[in-house]
């Protein structure tokens, strides 16, 4: 009996300890959540502070509660582009905002079209008579595209500016697959459908190289034109032509080189920068060292709240790879997006629909579900306008087809009209270790696709024929939507990607313009007055747990975001490793026929994670 009493006391003690632990964890989460929520009362006279820690995206992904609590990966913060643009628009007229400060010390980039839109908003702030100041330890292509629009650019003396332009090497795996005895059975249509080349070749095909070179030249030209217009005094050309010589001429002093070439205006650390801003907008009484009076972006947005006057124009965002099934924000899940559109058409009095696309494509079946839902809006006799962001390629173009008008930016990547399927088999590899395959078939397709013995010629013919039929369906839909013949679409299809400027010339898009232009066109076609409407965003809301963890995500993590030029280089290496892992995963992932542009990864925002302390450890540190 004594043993039972002692055991019972131990059990009760453990129970009480666990209850106490979870109560402490709960209140810690609640405390941080309340403090993490944007507070409208934080708006004060001073600067609008845009702390761009992370990447700019069209639709931030929801934090997975289970992965966040159990994984050792810290998610990279995603900042919604439209939030930045709206905050800057509010800053133009808000008398409390004296200036705008861009803190890009841990900025990790974004798509070129998204950054150009933010740059235009920065120009509008300056036109309204309010200066813009930028600070970073190091500037790269993406961060400098924004910094160029600043009234004054500051850089830490230990930093530098490294401009590289798009392009570089990508891995090809055929040699590795041959050594392992794995065959990537590829079924595709399109001379330029180079997405599957890493599995079938040891080098880039001439067709793919020609297509990518043309796009790189076009996009890089747009970047240089944008920067030159925003900051004409910057002497960028000599640094691009001979970067090594330019750096050696200043004996490796990268910050001095940036100052000499007028890429930046001032060298100074964060404290010096803060003191300078304080002379312009006022000091922060709570921060005596380098502090200045500032309003965070989230607080300014919360202070005004979402617009709600007038008629409703629906906006649906298709961001990320298009996948089958359901998913939360930040993932273009076919079932989820289609359902959202149908529900909005039934339950809301929409006068028009704007579709914002930032996707390299993906599943053909999911793309078709989304296209049919958008077509249902058009069937209700309301205008449908597509606004292409950084990417609207392959499946991203497929979903754009019902539009009355397609807007794109000159730096948008689109096209890639083609489809493919990849299935691996390992007959050669298994044979190397003495595993052979044999059996009985009742039909030519029995047991196919045969991963052990290799795919039969009959299966290859069936699969290839189905892919070719899917391609004909794709170009037929494009031809009908763009008022071309299938032959004309095939000539500009074949899986080739196009920059926005060329895409407009060949008729894949209608006009240049951003989201504002698309909304204005939708309002015009719906017969709405200039101030007689507001945008209603049709998107799934994060779960309670996802929203809570998203709000709790550390805004600064030195282990995740690169700061100086060497950290930037190391981060690029990390992205390369992750790309290799994602490429090889394609051979084992369950997926259907793909209308997807894998080479488009070079043109969008890259989101990565780094294995460090997990969320449980984060909360443990918080409580302790």
Active site residues: 193, 394
The three-state secondary structure class of 47 is strand
> CA 352 to CA 384: how far, in whole Å?
6
Q: How is residue 621 annotated by DSSP?
A: H
Residue (of 524, 507, 503) closest to 393 by Cα position: 503
Tokens read off for 533: 């409407």
- How far from chain centre, in Å, is Cα 566? 24
Tokens read off for 354: 């704007």
CA atoms within 13 A on the CB side of 500: 26
- How far from chain centre, in Å, is Cα 283? 36
Specify whether the backbone of 449 is left (phi greater than 0), alpha (psi in -120 to 50) or beta.
beta
Matching residue, tokens 């965003």 = 537
Q: How is residue 540 annotated by DSSP?
A: P
Q: How is residue 317 annotated by DSSP?
A: E
Residue 34 neighbours by CB under 8 Å, 6+ apart: none
Contact 362, 595 (CB under 8 A): yes
Contact 420, 385 (CB under 8 A): no
Cα dist from 429 to 175, 438, 452, 514, 584, whole Å: 13, 16, 9, 51, 16
Q: How is residue 333 annotated by DSSP?
A: E
Residue 489 neighbours by CB under 8 Å, 6+ apart: 417, 475, 478, 479, 482
> CA 261 to CA 239: how far, in whole Å?
9
- Please state, as a whole number, how many other Cβ atoms lie within 10 Å of the Cβ of residue 516: 15
Q: What is the DSSP string of 84-142?
A: HHHHHHHHHH-TTEEEEEEE-TTB----HHHHHHHHHHHHHHHHTT--EEEEEEEE-HH
Cα dist from 387 to 113, 356, 374, 412, whole Å: 11, 5, 13, 10
Matching residue, tokens 């039909």 = 443
Q: How is residue 55 annotated by DSSP?
A: E
Contact 196, 184 (CB under 8 A): yes
Matching residue, tokens 């232009």 = 517
Angle at CA 353, nearest 5°, toward 490 and 522?
90
DSSP bridge partners of 358: 319
Residue (of 323, 319, 192, 335) closest to 594 by Cα position: 323
């Amino acid at each position: 009996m004594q043993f039972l009493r002692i055991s019972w006391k131990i059990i009760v003690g453990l129970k009480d300890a666990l209850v106490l632990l979870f109560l402490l964890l709960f209140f810690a989460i609640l405390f941080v959540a309340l403090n993490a929520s944007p507070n409208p009362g934080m708006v004060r006279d001073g600067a609008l502070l845009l702390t761009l820690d992370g990447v700019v995206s069209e639709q931030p992904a929801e934090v997975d509660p289970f992965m966040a609590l159990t994984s050792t990966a810290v998610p990279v913060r995603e900042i919604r582009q439209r939030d930045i643009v709206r905050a800057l628009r509010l800053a133009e007229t808000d008398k409390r905002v004296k200036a705008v400060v861009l803190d890009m010390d841990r900025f990790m980039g974004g798509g070129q079209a998204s950054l150009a839109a933010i740059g235009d908003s920065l120009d509008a702030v300056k036109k309204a008579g309010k200066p813009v100041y930028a600070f970073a330890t190091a500037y790269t292509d993406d961060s400098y595209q924004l910094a160029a629009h600043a009234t004054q650019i500051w850089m830490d003396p230990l930093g530098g500016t490294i401009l590289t332009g798009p392009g570089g090497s990508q891995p090809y795996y055929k040699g590795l697959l041959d050594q392992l005895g794995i065959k990537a059975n590829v079924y595709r249509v399109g001379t330029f459908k180079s997405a599957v080349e890493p599995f079938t070749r040891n080098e880039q095909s001439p067709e793919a190289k020609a297509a990518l070179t043309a796009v790189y030249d076009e996009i890089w030209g747009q970047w240089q034109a944008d920067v030159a217009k925003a900051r004409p005094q910057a002497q960028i050309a000599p640094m691009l032509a001979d970067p090594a010589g330019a750096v050696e001429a200043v004996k490796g002093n990268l910050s001095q080189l940036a100052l000499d070439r007028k890429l930046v205006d001032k060298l100074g650390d964060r404290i010096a920068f803060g003191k300078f801003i304080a002379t312009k907008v006022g000091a922060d009484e709570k921060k005596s060292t380098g502090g200045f009076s500032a309003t965070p972006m989230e607080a300014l947005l919360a202070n005004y709240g979402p617009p709600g006057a007038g008629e409703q124009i629906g906006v649906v965002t298709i961001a990320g790879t298009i996948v089958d099934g359901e998913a939360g924000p930040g993932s273009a899940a076919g079932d989820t997006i289609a359902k959202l559109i149908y529900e909005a058409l039934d339950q809301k009095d929409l006068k028009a629909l704007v579709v914002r696309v930032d996707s390299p494509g993906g599943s053909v079946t999911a793309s078709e579900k989304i296209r049919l839902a958008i077509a249902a809006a058009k069937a209700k006799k309301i205008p449908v306008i597509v606004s292409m962001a950084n990417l609207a390629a392959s499946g991203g173009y497929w979903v754009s087809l019902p539009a009355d008008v397609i807007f794109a930016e000159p730096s948008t990547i689109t096209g890639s009209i083609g489809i493919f399927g990849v299935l691996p088999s390992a007959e050669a590899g298994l044979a190397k270790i003495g595993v052979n395959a044999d059996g009985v078939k009742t039909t030519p397709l029995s047991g196919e696709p045969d991963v052990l013995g290799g795919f039969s010629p009959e299966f290859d013919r069936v699969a290839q024929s189905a892919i070719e039929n899917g391609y004909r369906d794709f170009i037929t839909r494009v031809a009908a939507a763009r008022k071309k013949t299938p032959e004309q679409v095939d000539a500009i299809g074949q899986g080739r990607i196009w920059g926005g400027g060329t895409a407009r010339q060949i008729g894949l898009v209608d006009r240049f313009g951003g989201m504002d232009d698309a909304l204005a066109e939708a309002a015009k076609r719906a017969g709405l007055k200039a101030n007689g409407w507001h945008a209603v965003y049709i998107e799934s809301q994060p779960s309670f747990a996802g929203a809570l963890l998203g709000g709790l995500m550390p805004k600064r993590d030195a282990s995740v975001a690169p700061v100086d030029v060497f950290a930037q280089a190391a981060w690029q290496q990390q992205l390369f490793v992750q790309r290799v892992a994602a490429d090889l995963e394609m051979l084992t992932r369950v997926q259907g026929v793909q209308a997807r542009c894998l080479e488009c990864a070079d043109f969008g925002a890259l989101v990565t994670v780094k294995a460090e302390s997990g969320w449980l450890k984060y909360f443990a540190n918080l409580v302790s």
